[in-house]
Amino acid sequence: MWEEEEKVEEKSMMADVAFKIECKILPYDHVSELSNAITNLAPWMLENKSIGVHTLHGPDFGNGWVRSEKDQIFLSKRTRLILRIPKTDIDKVRLIEGSTLNVLKNDIKIGKSIVKPFLVVKDLICRSVLCDPDQTEENFLLEIKNQLSVHGIHIKKAICGKTKSIILMGKHKFTRSLMIADLSKEHSILLQDLGIGGGRIYGCGILLPHKSIDAVPNFKED
């Protein structure tokens, strides 16, 4: 009997664990306090730089792709707290279910979770890649290209967005949004595993599927 070939997405080392939450409002710049509250509950998360905390976004702000013009975001019942975790730590991270976080005087009650495997897509986006504010777009893309080539990922197409300022640990840091296109199936999964740059625990460098791109069933390489 032939064994069924392992699916590409099953080869990933990481996965997203999405928790239901109860919270109605948060300041827009909440990422440091959110990450600190989570890692106080689960300090082991700081031991692995690949572990990431997705920032929370309201329904009206392009899922975080476009910054709100307001200082606060309103969270819907569909909002999820998503943690990017090694598959080997999924059971451990689920121990935070039932806990309550206090983030900038706002309580976030953590509910049940589900595991969301990576989608195999050609195009990935990253909302925030830490960067030098004085770095040109050309040099930024070159740095990304060199960083990924070490892992055998050779970028065909990449587009970066404008630099924006975020507050991390009380200090202003600069980031760029980034889209990487025309990835192979294997490189799509590998890149979601690896991330880009630093600051994963603060929501930086986390790759996500582009909304307009189909997942595995419609993914056809040239």
- The CA–CA distances, whole Å, from 79 to 14, 94, 202 equal 21, 17, 18
* CA–CA dist 109, 161 (Å, integer): 34
Distance from C-alpha of 13 to C-alpha of 192, rounded to nearest angstrom: 9
Q: Among 114, 105, 91, 80, which Cα is nearest to 42's?
A: 91
Q: Convert the pLDDT of each residue in 154-197 to its tens digit.
A: 998 999 987 888 888 778 899 999 999 999 999 999 999 999 99
Tell me the per-residue pLDDT of 25-52, one tens digit each, with 9 for 90 and over: 999 888 899 999 999 999 999 999 999 9
Alpha carbon distance 95, 4 (integer Å): 33
Give me the amino acid identity at 17.
V
CATH numbers and ranges of domains, the chain? 8-116 (3.30.70.1890), 124-218 (3.30.70.1210)
